[in-house]
Amino acid sequence: MAYASLGRIVAQWGMTSRAMTIRLAELRDAQPIAAMSRDFIEAGLGWKYDSARVMRAIRDRETVAVVACDSRSGAINGFAIMEFGDERAHLVLLAVRPSHRRTGVGQGMVEWLVESARVAGIASIHLELRAANEAARRFYRAMGFYETVLVPGYYRSGEGRKEGALRMLRVLRTPGPLPAAWRPPRMEDPKR
Ligand SMILES: CC(C)(COP(=O)(O)OP(=O)(O)OC[C@H]1O[C@@H](n2cnc3c(N)ncnc32)[C@H](O)[C@@H]1OP(=O)(O)O)[C@@H](O)C(=O)NCCC(=O)NCCS
């Protein structure tokens, strides 16, 4: 089942605050997303998420890529990419421009993705981060994730440099089949 498609249904509602809009990434966003990945996530590890790879992620029906934009100028200040499996989702990349950190941009994107994952019936969200990235660890802890395991040498740069990763997990529901009565919320549901 294309769970990401369900995620995209949630995505179409959009999420707007006074200063920030979170929306699905479009192909034209690939270059700024790739540059943010290079500068804020992959620095020192080699650049794997270049524009071509980000474009593939944006096109992929099982992957949701979102951007956080300035509501007035449209400038992209953050992005996140999450892959949807049957029961597990993998938060692959997430970054916010330094100028916009600690203003709730990262939290807004995580909440957006968690809502999409819940609608898609996902049981747990998994991620890895560089073991030394204390700021991100604290951020994910604040977002309800907890550490599961340290993986030595998980990241390898082109120059043979290795770096450990910390795996983190957020549980959304008990794993296993969804209750028979479960259905995704209807978009016109007046309670929402
Ligand atoms: C991690 C990152 C995405 C956080 O984004 P952000 O928009 O600054 O986070 P928010 O403003 O939504 O923070 C929400 C909460 O997380 C926690 N938090 C976020 N950054 C933190 C930090 N540097 N130190 C401690 N706690 C932090 C706080 O509890 C914060 O709430 P508060 O500001 O009210 O105290 C951002 O620092 C970043 O882009 N880092 C570089 C890329 C990266 O490491 N990505 C993650 C691995 S892929």
For residue 144, what pLDDT is reported?
Answer: 98
CB of 61 closer than 6 angstroms to any ligand 1 atom: no
How many domains does one find in the chain?
1
CB of 186 closer than 6 angstroms to any ligand 1 atom: no
For residue 9, what pLDDT is reported?
Answer: 39
| Residue 133 placed within a domain | no
For residue 32, what pLDDT is reported?
Answer: 98
First-to-last C-alpha distance (Å) of the chain: 25
Sign of the dihedral defined by the CA atoms of residues 126, 170, 187, 27, in that order: negative
The Å distance, Cα 136 to ligand 1 centre, comes to 6
For residue 6, what pLDDT is reported?
Answer: 43
* Residue 42, domain extent: 3-123
| Residue 188 placed within a domain | no
| Residue 74 placed within a domain | yes
> Contact 111/134 with Cβ under 8 angstroms?
no
| Residue 118 placed within a domain | yes
For residue 67, what pLDDT is reported?
Answer: 98
For residue 187, what pLDDT is reported?
Answer: 64
> Which atom belonging to ligand 1 lies closest to the Cα atom of 101?
8
For residue 23, what pLDDT is reported?
Answer: 96
Residue 141 tokens, joined: 């802890």
> Contact 5/61 with Cβ under 8 angstroms?
yes
Mapped onto helix, strand or coil, the DSSP state of residue 139 is helix
State which of 22, 54, 105, 139 you would mutate to test the pocket of ligand 1, scoring each by most atoms of that ligand within 8 A of its C-beta.
Answer: 139
> Which atom belonging to ligand 1 lies closest to the Cα atom of 133?
44
Q: What is the CATH number of the domain that holds 110?
A: 3.40.630.30
For residue 18, what pLDDT is reported?
Answer: 56
State which of 17, 99, 100, 101 you would mutate to test the pocket of ligand 1, scoring each by most atoms of that ligand within 8 A of its C-beta.
Answer: 101
Q: Which residues of 64-83 are buried (b: 16+ CB within 10 A; e: fewer)?
A: bbbbbbeeeeeebbbbbbbb
For residue 17, what pLDDT is reported?
Answer: 55
| Residue 91 placed within a domain | yes
Name the closest-CA residue to atom 22, ligand 1: 135
Q: Show pLDDT as tens, one digit a residue, over the chain (192 residues).
A: 444 444 443 444 445 555 899 999 999 999 999 999 999 999 988 889 999 999 999 999 999 999 999 999 999 999 999 999 999 999 999 999 999 999 999 999 999 999 999 999 999 999 999 999 999 999 999 999 999 999 999 998 777 788 999 999 999 998 887 766 667 666 665 554
| Residue 18 placed within a domain | yes
| Residue 79 placed within a domain | yes
> Contact 93/81 with Cβ under 8 angstroms?
yes
| Residue 20 placed within a domain | yes
